[in-house]
Amino acid sequence: MFTGIITDVGSIASLEKSGDTKIIIKTAFDTTGIDIGASIACSGVCLTVTDKGEDWFSVEASDETFSCTNLGDWKEGSKVNLERALKMGDELGGHVVTGHVDAVITVKDKETIGDSTKVTFSLPADYAGFVAQKGSVTLDGISLTVNSVGDDFFTVNIISHTKANTTFQDLSVGKATNMEIDVLARYVARMNEVKN
């Protein structure tokens, strides 16, 4: 489990396809405290640490992971939002995030308003019922509050701190973005299905 509060922006050092794809990620994390087998959210995708060094760790991603995330856009040098798994007693600054990507959506528009940026994202019809005004959504691993929702879009506000300390500093129209819906919305919807 994660909170959607990004604690490092790493970079892809290498990708090597051999069965699954081995990805080496450079990080500022103290890797001595990272166990092999630990989960790290990488731009919202929960991946398992398979090896590590002084300033890097490696993960492996299957074809399934590539098919339902934006990992296919990663290349050497790509920036990646990183968050270590939540420990009991940690502050829950964002919301409960699983690291299981529901859809890849795109940036439709962005507008500077004061020091913030209002960003409009596409919203697939299958997920429209899971995104609510003032609700939570995870985008590339970042916990954000939904400002408004339309039939095929929603907007969020990116404050200057979030922009400066995540990969959203390079956000552009058309960018593919990992979206995870709020886990509470998922279970409320499922409970309604079972009742009906």
CATH classification at residue 17: 2.40.30.20
State yes or no: pLDDT of 42 exceeds 90: yes
State the residue for tokens 């890849």: 104
Whole-Å CA distances, 139 to 50, 81, 142 = 25, 10, 5
Quick one: 68 and 130 in the same domain?
Answer: no
CB-CB contact of 43 with 141 (8 Å): yes
Closest among 38, 135, 120, 32 to 82, alpha carbons compared: 38
Looking at the domain assignment, is residue 109 inside a domain? yes
Q: Does 43 share its domain with 113? A: no
Q: Which residue has the higher pLDDT, 86 or 12?
A: 12
Whether residues 80 and 122 fall in one domain: no
Say if 92 falls within a structural domain.
no
Residue 172 in domain: yes
Inside any domain, residue 21: yes
Query: What's the total number of domains in the chain?
Result: 2
pLDDT of 187 reads 77
Residues forming a β-bridge with 17 = 21
pLDDT tens digit sequence for 130-145:
999 999 999 999 999 9
pLDDT of 186 higher than 90: no
Domain hosting 12: range is: 8-84
Residue 189: band (very low, low, confident or very high) from pLDDT cuts 50, 70, 90? confident
Residues 77 and 122 occupy one common structural domain:
no
- Domain check: are 115 and 167 in the same one? yes
Q: Is residue 96 part of a domain?
A: no
5-21 mean pLDDT: 95
- State percent of the chain over pLDDT 90: 85
At residue 193, does pLDDT exceed 80?
no
Q: What pLDDT is attached to residue 177?
A: 97
Give residue 196's pLDDT band: very low, low, confident or very high (50, 70, 90): low
**Cβ 185 vs Cβ 135: under 8 Å:** yes
Q: Are residues 128 and 57 in the same domain?
A: no
pTM of the model: 0.93
Mean pLDDT calculated for residue range 110-133: 95
- Cross-strand pairs, 107: 121
Q: How far apart are CA 173 and CA 159, in angstroms?
A: 18
Asked whether residue 76 falls in the same domain as residue 113, the answer is: no
Q: pLDDT tens for residues 75-106?
A: 999 999 999 998 887 877 888 899 999 999 99
State how beta strands 39-42 and 45-53 pair: antiparallel
- DSSP letter at 126 equals G
111 and 190 inside one domain: yes
Mean pLDDT of the chain: 94
Distance in angstroms (rounded) separating the CA atoms of residues 165 and 167: 7
Please check whether residues 130 and 166 belong to one and the same domain.
yes
Domain boundary among 22, 51, 84: 84
pLDDT at 41 over 70: yes
Verify that 164 and 137 share a domain, yes or no.
Answer: yes
Amino acid letter, residue 43: S
157: number of Cβ within 10 Å: 16
Q: Do 123 and 183 share a domain, yes or no?
A: yes
Claim to verify: residue 59 and residue 107 sit in the same structural domain:
no
- What is the predicted pLDDT for the residue at 152? 96
Are the beta carbons of 187 and 105 closer than 8 angstroms? Answer: no
